[in-house]
Structure 1
Amino acid sequence: MPLVGESVARIDGVGKVCGRAQYVDDIFMRDLLYAKVFRSTIANGRVKRIDTGKAKALPGVEAVVTFEEVPGHPFPTAGHPYSTDPSHQDVADRNLLSGRIRLYGDEIAAVVAVDELTAEKALRLIEVEYEEYPPILTVSDALKEGAVEIHANTGNVIKKTGYELGDLAQAFNEADYILEDQFKTSVVQHCAMENHSAVAYVDAQDRVVVYTSTQIPHICRRVVGQALGIPWGRVRVVKPAVGGGFGSKQDVVVEPLAAFLATRVNGRPVKLELTREETFIATRTRHSMEYAFRSGVKKDGTLLARKAHIFSLNGGYASHGHSIGAKCSGTVRVQYKQKAVACEVSTLYTSMPAAGAMRGYGIPQVTFALECHMEDLARAIGMDPIAFRLKNFHDAGFVDPLSGVKAHTCGIKECIEKGKELIQWDKKKQRFRDQSGTKRRGVGMACFYYGTGTWPVGLELAGARIVLNQDGSIGLQIGATEIGQGSDTVFTQMAAETIGIPLDWVHVSSEQDTDISPFDTGAYASRQTYVSGWAVKKAAAEIKNKILERAQRMKDIPAPALDVTAGWVVYKQTGEKLLSLESIALDCYYNTAAAAPITADVSCNIHTNAFAYGCTFAAVEVDLATGKVDVLEIYNIHDSGKIINPGLAAAQVHGGVSMGIGYALYEQMLFDPKTGKPLNNNLLDYKLMTAADTPDIGVAFVETDDPTAPFGNKALGEPPAISPAPAIRNAILDATGVKINELPMTPQRLFEAFRQAGLVGQQGGRQHV
């Protein structure tokens, strides 16, 4: 029975629903202490004086540590694989605690106490005096002459890169129409259900042990070692169940400080758990970006030239640095055919929360700008927006001229046709023409592409270990991390099908432990089913071969004539059962003459990538009088190669589209322009979508079979969040004729745009439409 391609139930579903899954917050140890962080109340400046005497004197306080008492060397926090090339390493600009304040809520000191209440009381006893500088919240703030540098000798620029392909001037000269426009996206937060937390202690062998909610346990181990200045082998990281990450836990945020504090209290376990308010400002956000696009087209819709300038606001620390902005620039050249294209990207320091990885890794931002611009180009030349896109898409076989990655498969045109049919595009276009009144309807669409993994920019290494148990079942250990996306279930399907055993014969270890688990760089870049899937398939194939070799010895039948089906070794041609896997396993373990347990321990270094494609179609109703937008229908269609588990795949799409709608219409972190103080770093004032706000979400797949993948599969985890925002924007444009070039498209922002366009106004003191 085939298992890959079937909608099997999540293997961890019942345990999570019944409360048996163990998260960091469920970990209690003898003599457990609690840590709290003393945070700055300014966004930019220095600590002139700090007095912790009263805090140290409070009964129950075990330690108070300030920025003056931590290791002086900086370290990086990004969840990237280590590089032996210094020029390719992440920016090391973080200290465990800091006296140079770079954002509101920056870590200045920490308290360790016998309970949380005592720790919080101690924080209130710490006295601090600041030298304050103006906050840097915008591109102009960061780059203006005389601006205070967030980090010395940077000019507030983390990095600036660019490229030009083709003769741009000549291509623009050949254009019949040239359009210039600007776009802006907002700062948003991941808002995973589980906040960042870690428990750290020093074990009997003087090793630092950290239990943490992380997407990247092996990378976390290295970063903790770097932060503390100790050999990496003296650090052990354990990842239990994770309550969501979406990229925020692809950064090493709380673990280094928790580990250091444990060393300051004689190795006793220390728990450091952030509050929701702290998570907003002290973890990571999605970058706010600003775009300037200039494009030239011919009258027949042929796209000739494009020039883009991107500014990425990175916050007070580099985190993932310029890699997210650089990835944005790839979309500018890869998504559509152009005779000439140029892009320049600048990543800037600001005095806002540090921005890092978030679902889509910069592609939702650039796709909003690009797909809005493509819509406007189509309207400018009087061409159907779908026909315009179809005319300019790359086909299968396209090779990115800079990365060298080849699109072996490309189902974007089929995705568009399916989306057009699902939403009844032509009928709605006709029905929504010549509308009047306060409520108007429109349809819009947007497309995307997304790479699978990070090669050739980043290392793509994954490991898997399989042991044949005495009863014929297998134990599967992987370094790839289950963070709620369903990867353990998918790996179970892969292993079971490859070997030829029932699904429930696979026992996967969902807890990663850097002392035990095979090396894997982690859960990010929609890489695991593609990269780690190869490791699982390779290990499972090795187990199957060893099973057949053992059966050959036991039955004196050539292994090539045998197969494994439903837990039995059978004749390949007839399916006749010969040996149960249990009997083979018992022979492996207990044959006094030839006992040799069957195991496989493999690692795969993947040197391929695969482009996933897709689109979103949306129908909206816009209330001109209030600026409110209702999403009436939305469909997300994907070419993600072969779908390993359709049920889990649809769930990924539902979650991603919901996140995309929130990005489009609601979510935005706000800051006081005078002080840099966050104004809505809580779930009351930060507007997340609720179940009542979520429309029915349509999901469809166009399956291709990518030859570079273990089972023909391509990226799916992040793509669903990419194109909903521009599709909704383009539907609003279709309904009202008004271009909205900034996210989120809130009622206030839309109403002001409608009033400026003359759709609404004031008459006799009353609003009229």
Structure 2
Amino acid sequence: MPLGASLKRVDAEAKVTGRARYTDDLSMPGMRYAKYVRSPIAHGLVTRIDTEKALQLPGVEAIFTYQDVPQHGFPTAGHAWSLDANKLDVADKQLLTGHVRHHGDGVAIVVACDLLTAEKAAMLVEVEYQELPVMTTAATALATGAPLLHGGESNLLKQHTLKGGDPDAVLAEADIRIEGQYQTQVVQHCHLEGVISYAYMDQMERIVIVSSTQIPHIVRRVVAQALDRPWSSIRVIKPYIGGGFGNKQDVLEEPMCAFLTWKLGGVPVKVELSREECFLATRTRHSFAVTGQIALTRDGTLQACSLDVLSNTGAYASHGHSIASAGGNKIAYLYPRVAFGYQAATYYSNLPNAGAMRGYGAPQVTFALECMIDEAAAQLGMDPLELRIKNVARQGDINPLNHKEIKSAGILECLLKGRELFDWDNRRAACLNQSGPIRRGVGVACLSYASNTYPVGVEIASARLLLNQDGTIHLQVGATEIGQGSDTVFAQMAAQTVGVPFSSIYVISTQDTDITAYDPGAFASRQSYVTAPAIYQAATELREKIIKHAAFMCGQAEWALEVVDGNVVLKHRPEKVLLSVKEVSMSAHYHQEVGGQIIAEVSCKTRSNPPAFGCTFVDLTVDIPLCKVTINKIINLHDSGQILNPQLAEGQVHGGMGMGIGWTLFEEMIIDEKSGIVRNNNLLDYKFPTILDLPDLDCAFIETYEPQSAYGHKALGEPPLISPAPAIRNAIWMATGVKIDELPLTPKTLYQHFALAGLVE
């Protein structure tokens, strides 16, 4: 059976041989190139802008300033549209601005015949600014009398409270109460392919955009909003994409390239950001300040959890408060037998704009929660693994916030299997009572996550299957392949359900909003879960149509037939091949009287959202004088339901673990607190791990069966990133006795804390 097998990616050969065509490979004759004029300050007003010198440069075709673009705001977050006006994304972004709100904000853009000319011209545009106070922290942005970045009464974007039970009352009467304050940093996605798109106008004066985006259908809508055009007047094409990790779940440069081609009579115009611009002017991960409390009985029963989150969204809303909100919703499944409280607020500042990034708020809040669990274990004198085993979710538990039953939960089995594979007991015993400059520690941390955005978002997916004359099948889905391997598992789903070999399925990877039925895009670890029902229904319909025509051809009853391995057979005698699917298709296409091409198409909505679970075990060494951490062994274990393609799943986990290690030990956008200037907006000064910096990565799966899923599976894309950080922090604490409640755990951070603890001079 195709599902459950490590079948080769459908795009593997195209990518390794260079046949795959990305946005930058699809240049057009007469292409023009655009380059921004960006603010060198983090906050201020443009008082003078002079384009005369730049316009005199040969090859410059046009320059547009903030005064030339539409003056209404538009949203950029990659969320499905909502019929509830209260749920719509904040429309606070403009194509260009005279009120710069972060270092690198765009005030003008140059269009020229080539990129070098555009870059030279951009440097010739003269801009003067009236500098305004810079606000990079909550203390400054939310202070009384602080300058308002987007009007209103304050720089507070939004806040909310969630409660399940009465955590305050439980905390007040608790035997054991743990409190802590935790801080996470700003990081960038650093996907291999940068942000790039181009646009032109077709013969019907519609704007066509080719873009490296995770959300082509949402781009279509947002571009139309930005330019005040009908949604149908925009067409978006997504070729192969070289990674996104959530950055391209925002509408980035598509509105600008659409605006430019519109203003220049339809000529193709490309907007491609340099790596430096990606750091300044795309999206980052939100920094969180988390104040947490948990309550336990003396036997280690977790009774209450309360988290208070303050999220810095930077200069514009983007996904804004939904990140902080989602973090609380996603972790409520992990320890569900508690009174749960979650309060969150999101504020504007003069930092670069934060948006979606792999994990979507869960890594930040999980860091706080799992640090407190270890601190509780220490106070109780318990093994931190035993404390988690005692309290994690079981099948049948009820989520304290949404009151949904957990129908599949393998987190307990993940912890038990991890104990065995990692040899936790022996490794932990070897790390007790250490001294000296080099010490070992072990750590563990857990996670829960969701499989889509329902009921916050509308979860719609589509699938189209067309049977070709030779018996092969074209599969077209609205869901976007961005490197995660979704097209491959979609082909596996279709092959198994129709009853044909995997090699018979041809997946059309390019999404085109004129051709591809609606799907909001690649995010929320949703694609395999939400697209599966559409594929299952369409594949079932296609199989039934094949059987119907085969029954006509061979004079059998439809109920007596089945499709197996590309052949129509008798159900009670599957070894008896009556017809091949190819023969059925040829007859359907070319019979003189009956038939037609056999096609099935389904668009459907998913109204369930089961939790996925996982955990990380880590063994590391800390060189205290050098403030250096070396990971000796790390393993992730995951409950993602049925594993559809083990090799692809392992690749997802390894990639997430690498990002999690980078977030924990290496990565940080260094932003001057007073000026808001980004000091390391390049891949030389911004440190993230290469393959040489990562340890051997190990993973294992506990396969449960999720009954709400079309194929028994749950989310996997984002969870592997979430739990390495607290596991590493907990191991460093065990090794050194120093609790560090902030990220990243770089040598600089370790030195500061080790010095305060008297471990280094």
TM-score for the superposition, normalised by structure 2: 0.99
Q: For residues 656 and 413 of structure 2, what CA distance do their matches in structure 1 show?
A: 21
Tell me the secondary structure at the aligned position of residue 314 of structure 2: coil
Match of 1:674 in 2: 674
**Residue type at the aligned position of 2:162:** Y
Decide whether the 8 Å contact of 2:281 with 2:352 is kept in 1: yes
Match of 1:413 in 2: 412
**Residue type at the aligned position of 2:695:** P
- Report how far residue 174 of structure 1 moved: 2.7
- Report how far residue 339 of structure 1 moved: 4.2
**Residue type at the aligned position of 1:566:** D
Q: For residues 686 and 229 of structure 1, what CA distance do their matches in structure 2 show?
A: 38
- Report how far residue 415 of structure 1 moved: 0.1
- Report how far residue 403 of structure 1 moved: 2.9
**Residue type at the aligned position of 2:720:** P
Show CA shifts across 1:168-201 (max 9, x none).
3431233112222100000000000000000101
Decide whether the 8 Å contact of 1:331 with 1:366 is kept in 2: no
Match of 1:161 in 2: 160
Q: 5+ residue gaps in structure 1?
A: 762-769
Decide whether the 8 Å contact of 2:336 with 2:399 is kept in 1: no
Q: For residues 403 and 177 of structure 2, what CA distance do their matches in structure 1 show?
A: 30
Question: Larger deviation: 143-152 or 653-662?
Answer: 143-152
Correspondence list, 1:49-64, <5 A: 49-64=48-63
Tell me the secondary structure at the aligned position of residue 249 of structure 1: helix
- Report how far residue 164 of structure 1 moved: 3.1
**Residue type at the aligned position of 1:651:** G
Q: Give the direction of change, closer, same or farther, for the CA distance of 1:165–1:609 in structure 2 (3 Å limit).
A: closer
Question: Larger deviation: 332-341 or 370-379?
Answer: 332-341
1:151 paired with 2:153, answer no
Match of 1:622 in 2: 622
Q: For residues 9 and 154 of structure 1, what CA distance do their matches in structure 2 show?
A: 55
- Report how far residue 338 of structure 1 moved: 5.1
Decide whether the 8 Å contact of 1:171 with 1:339 is kept in 2: no
Question: Larger deviation: 646-655 or 137-146?
Answer: 137-146
Match of 2:181 in 1: 182
Tell me the secondary structure at the aligned position of residue 615 of structure 2: strand
- Report how far residue 134 of structure 1 moved: 1.9
Q: For residues 624 and 100 of structure 2, what CA distance do their matches in structure 1 show?
A: 44
- Report how far residue 556 of structure 1 moved: 1.4
Match of 1:545 in 2: 544
Match of 1:653 in 2: 653
Tell me the secondary structure at the aligned position of residue 224 of structure 2: helix
What do you get for the CA RMSD once the two structures are aligned?
1.1
Decide whether the 8 Å contact of 1:291 with 1:309 is kept in 2: yes
Q: For residues 166 and 530 of structure 2, what CA distance do their matches in structure 1 show?
A: 37
Match of 1:767 in 2: none
Show CA shifts across 1:432-486 (max 9, x none).
2222221100100000000100111110000000111001111111110010000
1:718 paired with 2:718, answer yes
Show CA shifts across 1:2-48 (max 9, x none).
00000001110111000000001111111110011111111011111
- Report how far residue 102 of structure 1 moved: 0.8
Match of 1:764 in 2: none
Tell me the secondary structure at the aligned position of residue 68 of structure 1: coil
**Residue type at the aligned position of 2:598:** I
Match of 1:555 in 2: 554
Q: Give the direction of change, closer, same or farther, for the CA distance of 1:271–1:37 in structure 2 (3 Å limit).
A: same
Show CA shifts across 1:95-145 (max 9, x none).
111111110000111111000111011101111111111221111111111
Tell me the secondary structure at the aligned position of residue 727 of structure 2: helix
Match of 2:747 in 1: 747
Q: For residues 514 and 403 of structure 1, what CA distance do their matches in structure 2 show?
A: 34
Q: Give the direction of change, closer, same or farther, for the CA distance of 1:169–1:60 in structure 2 (3 Å limit).
A: closer
- Report how far residue 331 of structure 1 moved: 4.3
Correspondence list, 1:106-185, <5 A: 106-185=105-184
After the TM superposition, list the runs of 4 or more consecutive aligned residues in structure 1 that deviate by more than 4 angstroms.
none
Decide whether the 8 Å contact of 1:641 with 1:703 is kept in 2: yes
Show CA shifts across 1:692-729 (max 9, x none).
11100111000000011111000000000000011111
Q: For residues 339 and 128 of structure 1, what CA distance do their matches in structure 2 show?
A: 57
Q: For residues 695 and 168 of structure 1, what CA distance do their matches in structure 2 show?
A: 40
Q: For residues 633 and 540 of structure 1, what CA distance do their matches in structure 2 show?
A: 43
Correspondence list, 1:193-204, <5 A: 193-204=192-203
Q: For residues 342 and 581 of structure 2, what CA distance do their matches in structure 1 show?
A: 58
Q: For residues 500 and 538 of structure 2, what CA distance do their matches in structure 1 show?
A: 14
Decide whether the 8 Å contact of 1:443 with 1:617 is kept in 2: yes
Match of 1:766 in 2: none
1:279 paired with 2:278, answer yes
Decide whether the 8 Å contact of 2:495 with 2:504 is kept in 1: yes
**Residue type at the aligned position of 2:596:** A
Match of 1:636 in 2: 636
TM-score for the superposition, normalised by structure 1: 0.98
Decide whether the 8 Å contact of 1:331 with 1:367 is kept in 2: no
**Residue type at the aligned position of 2:304:** A
Match of 1:81 in 2: 80
- Report how far residue 759 of structure 1 moved: 2.1
Decide whether the 8 Å contact of 2:338 with 2:400 is kept in 1: no
Match of 2:502 in 1: 503
1:705 paired with 2:705, answer yes
- Report how far residue 353 of structure 1 moved: 1.0
- Report how far residue 404 of structure 1 moved: 4.2
- Report how far residue 363 of structure 1 moved: 0.5
- Report how far residue 758 of structure 1 moved: 2.1
Decide whether the 8 Å contact of 1:207 with 1:234 is kept in 2: yes
Q: For residues 154 and 31 of structure 1, what CA distance do their matches in structure 2 show?
A: 48
How many residue pairs are counted as aligned between the two chains? Answer: 760
- Report how far residue 630 of structure 1 moved: 0.3
Match of 1:31 in 2: 30
1:608 paired with 2:608, answer yes
- Report how far residue 398 of structure 1 moved: 2.4
Decide whether the 8 Å contact of 1:405 with 1:610 is kept in 2: no
Q: For residues 308 and 453 of structure 1, what CA distance do their matches in structure 2 show?
A: 23
Q: For residues 248 and 548 of structure 2, what CA distance do their matches in structure 1 show?
A: 43
- Report how far residue 154 of structure 1 moved: 4.6
Q: For residues 9 and 98 of structure 1, what CA distance do their matches in structure 2 show?
A: 47
Show CA shifts across 1:677-703 (max 9, x none).
100010000001011111001110000
Match of 2:460 in 1: 461
Match of 2:585 in 1: 585
Q: For residues 567 and 140 of structure 1, what CA distance do their matches in structure 2 show?
A: 66
Decide whether the 8 Å contact of 1:403 with 1:456 is kept in 2: no
Q: For residues 599 and 179 of structure 1, what CA distance do their matches in structure 2 show?
A: 60
1:300 paired with 2:299, answer yes
- Report how far residue 673 of structure 1 moved: 2.0
